[in-house]
Structure 1
Amino acid sequence: MKQEKNKASMIWLLGLLGVLAIAPLARAQQQQPADFDAWAEGVAVERMRAEPTGSTFRQYLPPAEQQLLDRQLTPNTPAYRAERIAVARTNLQQLERFERARLTPQQRSSAAVIEWSLRGAIEAEPFADYEFVFNQFRGLHVNLVNFLSQAHPIRNAQDIDNYLARLGQVADRMDSGIARAKDAAGRGFLMPRFITEASLGQFERFLADVPARNVLVVSLEQRAARLSTVTPEARAQAVAAAEKIVAESIIPAFRRAQALLQEQLPRSGMDAGLWRLPGGDKAYAYELRRNTTTDYLPEQIHRLGLAEVARIEGQMDTLLRRLGYRDGSVKDRYEKLEADLQPKGEGDPRPALLARFDTLLRDAEQRARLLFDITPKAPLVVRREPLFTEKTAAAHYSSPAKDGSLPGIFWAPLPGPGYRIADMRTLAYHEGVPGHHFQIALQQETTSLPRYRRDGVFAGGSAFAEGWALYAEQLAAESGWYEEKVGEPAADKGPDIAGRLGQLSAELFRARRLVVDTGLHAMKWTRQQAIDYGIPAHEVDRYVVNPGQACAYKIGQLHILALRGKAQQALGERFSLKAFHSLLLQTGNVPLAVLSQVVDEWVARQAKT
């Protein structure tokens, strides 16, 4: 353990020396656009050296150095956070020395993304207490388990050894998190009671099995079994070592965190929004800025959501009547449709549902050829969300590994007993094709982008990424994909009205999010009010601990649609939808203001041709 900490310290020293070495270069050659690329890459390398977990996702550094980082977990101490803020301030000062007008258009976009990311890191620091350490959605315990069991690569014997080294650091990271949670609670920052209860449920599930059946052991055992280069004896030794670490180190640490939450539970209340906390209005304003990449006020977003809800419900009413659902509210009638679509017969329906998702993805890949000039080389698969997080998880996408060891993955939670059937198509389009898989995998594969933008080293916010995925849902509907059913017998190939309702329901869901997220955090809505408005309880709980993020989808989608309309109007017959899509996808994830600038410059170039 001491050796691992010494290695981590060496990584820190190298990273900080790298920042100091960059500064004179930026001062000496601040007028040279070529120097910007070297500076930006240096900042990205330093960041990856300081964030081993993120570096593993991206495999960013030379092999020998990456191997060292792949044995580390990113620190989570106050000292670490303070050092990262100091580095961000230094980087921002260096960036300001570059004259933007002298940079190329690509460099200007990169500079804007880097600046946005650095300022966000600095602006976030006063609001660190609002990110509850052990929340049920993206808490430390969730992130550690998911990263190790799903994302840490197991490609060879060295990866297995790295995995065991990281397992040995989990308890230390959990204890750092416990200390932070205790400190925040002492200043009045407690999670709502229902969030604490949801997190305690996760701890109970994690601790329920014997160490040999713990997800961290089983994941290693299953993935190592696929390696022909590792002997059965070596695999057995590694699994036994993992079981020992889990039993002697990780489970006790998880019990300590569980005990903390159990102690805090009687002191927690039922108020849901950030308004309940000191400075909550400022924290929420920050979260909206970071997630939507705009300066919209909560009241503006709330009104926009109400208008979108009314518009979409009108469309759904018409289609529900076509299917014979005439009585009751749109919400009640759609729920009746979903009840009627539930799997029939005995046995577990989930394998068939996963197979249907796969069919939908393969069909979408064929249809997308008419709308896109470029498609990802990386494959896409669908997998069921692990049991540890299935009850609280939302469907999501994880990006492919650059070395091909992992495909793009659409993670589908199927906890049951009821299942979302009508919106299976639009969910596949959102998480997969042409949604997140196209956007994220193509960003990784676009060689015209600097490597740090391909790999998302500098955050661009949620608005473009989630806006694109919601745009992809609407694009499928606009393009007639619901004019026929998919995977049905030849005799039943008519219009997929239920699927189209599922698409509208998904869009309505995102519009309701605008109303509910702002309602919870700015207008003192209760959790029950949000549920009564049409949002499932587990989704409401997600917004409670991840404020503002639910607003990114609709804001981003509407912005992309506005940019498309503006470009169509300016270019007329010269407008190419395929070219527009290529432009957006090859720009990568950027704040919406940067995206607007990129599109405006593209329109100006097209107008001259």
Structure 2
Amino acid sequence: MPISSPRSLRAAVATLFVPLALAASVLPDAALAAPVAKTAAARPNAAFEKWAERFADDWVRMNPQLASSTQYFSGAEQAALDRQLTPQTPERRKKMVAMAKQGVARLDKWIAGPLDETQKISAAVMRWSLSNVIANEPFEDYNFVFSQFGGPQVGLVNYMTQTHPMRTAADVDSWLARLDQMGTRMDEALARARSATERKLIPPRFILERAQFQVDTFLKPAASQNVLVASLEKRSAELKDLTPEARSAAIARATRIVEEKIRPAYVRVQGFMAELHPKTNDTAGISRLPGGLKAYERALANFTSTTLGAEEIHAIGLREVARLEGEMDKHLRSLGFTEGNIEARMKALDATFQPKGEGDPRPAILEKYKAMVNDALVRSEKLFNLKPRAPVEVLREPPLTEASAAAHYSLPAPDGSRPGVFWVPMRGPTFDMIRMRSLSYHEAVPGHHFQLAIQQELAGIPKYRSQRIFSGGSAHAEGWALYTERLAVEQGWYEGDIPGLLGALGSELFRARRLVVDTGLHTKGWTRQQAVDYGINVEEVDRYVVWPGQATAYMIGMLRIVELREKAKAELGAKFSLPAFHDMVLGAGSVPLDVLGQLVDGWIAREKAKAV
């Protein structure tokens, strides 16, 4: 069921998307717009390919954890990287920025010469990614080092318990080598946090307290019952080449490392947090920090890949909120919910769907999510030619992070040893029942799983793009996932399910409110409570506080993808194919929004040429 006409949508967004200079400088407007010409200039430039692959290899070598999660190399080199945790030192950060500057300078020379169409896109994506590394560097410490989302106190634990490969006995030995470095990495992060504090880059009190809770939770059990040791026990149980004696020895060694090295590092972090607490207050926005408004401006450019400013994004949010609330009001009235604002009526509707009866409802809810994902796979058949080979699973968010986590997706392992995973937090005692379908479409099928697993499996683009070593950022990735939510509405997937449709519209409303709340927090002095009162739950608000700008990527990216689709429909008429459009967007991998626009122009031109 459409929620806005193509004409009105095009009019609403046509003037919003000014290409970001970082990417616009690398490709002329017509560079990807014309059909591929079979000329010398359109042939692959072997020298560029060799340089780009070598540069990407060196970039990945600087991040051993990335090398492992992507299994980027093979043989002895990959095995050596699988034994290392990525350093968190100032020296490594400086090396990455210096390398990025070298890469941009070299790319500018390559771009001035002949490249084929795929190489032009690769050069644009690489340059955009590296330019952001350089531009973001002055603001890296504006996000709290020990944030409740990406901080090492949870990030390292999640990596060791979920991402480190565990296929053979050799992987257990590599895991132990990494475990032995975890205390050092925590101390490096602690040094960075102390340095940030000296520069008055201090988190709000409520954010610090979330991180304190995580550290306290980690330290509660004895070493033998610690989440890291428990994970090793569980993950090593099925390894066929690991003898019982070797497994027992590995578990004993892990327990010693946790007791002697990791727990003391967490205690040191715990002490730092206690020292910091009296210096904090409850001011939420990044503007509380010296130079915070400039940091936010940079964050918006990074996450939206546009030149839209905070005021423009705030206005887009207000407009979209009004549109969606008007649509939802009609459907709520049709169900008899007429009293109160949209938020109050949606809560009343959701309350009617809460699990009833005794016992823990979570296993049944998880099974419903799995059924929704399987149903979406069937429904997607007629809308997509390009689909991932990797399977997707639905799992409950682990206890350490469940208290503050949002639903999310993690990539399958390239070697097939780990499926894609849609992670669902189930804090309770109430559950967000009517939004289950839209959440499944966003995080799994046909959202992030289709997008990211397909990209990883693509054979026609370089490995450094398929593995997202260099990519187009959040606006493309999150824009696609939100686009698939709208696609499900447009395609009638909610026929006969008005509550589910309201859940979908409510999910989009949530993303529109994000534009208002994120910009409100960081540029208009909004308090945490103001953001909650606007209809965003407190866990989400706290996410925006520690991750300024990221929440704006979803709606901005989705509007751009819809705008490009409607442009293609208008120009191609009866020759427009929705599955072909989706294949084109997914087949390019992750690209900045302006490069996506150029790709769509090129696709339109090629489709028109076929008809001649």
Q: TM-score, normalised by structure 2?
A: 0.92
SS in 1 for 2:418: coil
Any conservation in 2 of the 1:100–1:108 contact (CA below 8 Å)?
no
1:271 and 2:272 aligned: no
Q: Which of these residues, 376, 380, 384, is aligned with residue 388 of structure 2?
A: 376
Letter aligned with residue 437 of structure 1 = H
* Residue pairs, 1:499-538, within 5 angstroms: 499-538=500-539
CA distance in 2: counterparts of 1:546 and 1:145, whole angstroms:
20
C-alpha displacement of 1:32 = 8.0
Aligned to 2:299: 287
C-alpha displacement of 1:205 = 1.1
Any conservation in 1 of the 2:44–2:119 contact (CA below 8 Å)?
no
Q: Deviations over 1:319-368 (max 9, x none)?
A: 11111111111100001111121100111111111111100011110010
Aligned to 1:45: 57
1:555 and 2:567 aligned: no
Q: Deviations over 1:397-448 (max 9, x none)?
A: 0000011110000000001111110000010000000000000000011101
4+ aligned runs moved over 4 Å, structure 1: none
SS in 2 for 1:447: coil
Q: Which of these residues, 161, 164, 187, is aligned with residue 175 of structure 1?
A: 187
CA distance in 2: counterparts of 1:441 and 1:46, whole angstroms:
24
Letter aligned with residue 513 of structure 1 = R
Letter aligned with residue 322 of structure 2 = A
1:86 and 2:105 aligned: no
Q: Deviations over 1:165-203 (max 9, x none)?
A: 001001101111111111111111110000001111111
Letter aligned with residue 504 of structure 1 = L
1:318 and 2:330 aligned: yes
- Unaligned 5+ segments in structure 1 are 1-30, 484-494
Any conservation in 2 of the 1:191–1:268 contact (CA below 8 Å)?
yes
Letter aligned with residue 104 of structure 2 = L
Letter aligned with residue 201 of structure 1 = F
Letter aligned with residue 604 of structure 2 = V
Aligned to 1:539: 540
SS in 2 for 1:578: helix
Q: Which of these residues, 72, 79, 93, is aligned with residue 67 of structure 1?
A: 79
Aligned to 1:76: 88
CA distance in 2: counterparts of 1:137 and 1:452, whole angstroms:
26
Letter aligned with residue 61 of structure 1 = F
- Unaligned 5+ segments in structure 2 are 1-42
Any conservation in 1 of the 2:44–2:116 contact (CA below 8 Å)?
no
- The CA RMSD measured in Å over matched residues stands at 1.1
Aligned to 1:10: none
Aligned to 1:350: 362
C-alpha displacement of 1:101 = 5.8
Q: Which of these residues, 374, 377, 389, is aligned with residue 365 of structure 1?
A: 377
Any conservation in 1 of the 2:111–2:123 contact (CA below 8 Å)?
no
Aligned to 2:10: none
Q: TM-score, normalised by structure 1?
A: 0.92
SS in 2 for 1:397: strand
Q: Which of these residues, 75, 83, 108, is aligned with residue 96 of structure 1?
A: 108
C-alpha displacement of 1:287 = 0.4
CA distance in 2: counterparts of 1:320 and 1:373, whole angstroms:
36
C-alpha displacement of 1:86 = 1.1
1:244 and 2:256 aligned: yes
CA distance in 2: counterparts of 1:117 and 1:237, whole angstroms:
44
* Residue pairs, 1:125-274, within 5 angstroms: 125-274=137-286
CA distance in 2: counterparts of 1:211 and 1:319, whole angstroms:
54
Letter aligned with residue 557 of structure 1 = M
CA distance in 1: counterparts of 2:123 and 2:184, whole angstroms:
36
CA distance in 1: counterparts of 2:342 and 2:267, whole angstroms:
45
C-alpha displacement of 1:233 = 2.0
CA distance in 2: counterparts of 1:452 and 1:584, whole angstroms:
18
Aligned to 1:599: 600
Indicate the larger mover: 127-136 or 357-366: 127-136
Counting matched residue pairs gives 568
1:391 and 2:409 aligned: no
Q: Which of these residues, 76, 93, 115, is aligned with residue 127 of structure 2?
A: 115
Aligned to 1:337: 349
Q: Which of these residues, 435, 438, 450, is aligned with residue 462 of structure 2?
A: 450
Letter aligned with residue 429 of structure 1 = Y
CA distance in 2: counterparts of 1:232 and 1:336, whole angstroms:
54
CA distance in 2: counterparts of 1:291 and 1:99, whole angstroms:
24
1:406 and 2:418 aligned: yes
C-alpha displacement of 1:229 = 2.2
Letter aligned with residue 267 of structure 1 = K
Indicate the larger mover: 219-228 or 417-426: 219-228
Q: Deviations over 1:371-394 (max 9, x none)?
A: 011211000000000000001001
CA distance in 1: counterparts of 2:591 and 2:256, whole angstroms:
44
Any conservation in 2 of the 1:384–1:414 contact (CA below 8 Å)?
yes
Letter aligned with residue 269 of structure 1 = N
CA distance in 2: counterparts of 1:464 and 1:124, whole angstroms:
19
C-alpha displacement of 1:317 = 0.8
CA distance in 2: counterparts of 1:524 and 1:100, whole angstroms:
45
Letter aligned with residue 580 of structure 1 = F
Letter aligned with residue 462 of structure 1 = S
| Higher RCO (Cα < 8 Å, 6 or more apart) | 2
Aligned to 2:477: 465
SS in 2 for 1:278: coil
SS in 1 for 2:431: coil
Percent sequence identity over aligned pairs: 52
Aligned to 1:22: none
SS in 1 for 2:324: helix
C-alpha displacement of 1:116 = 0.6
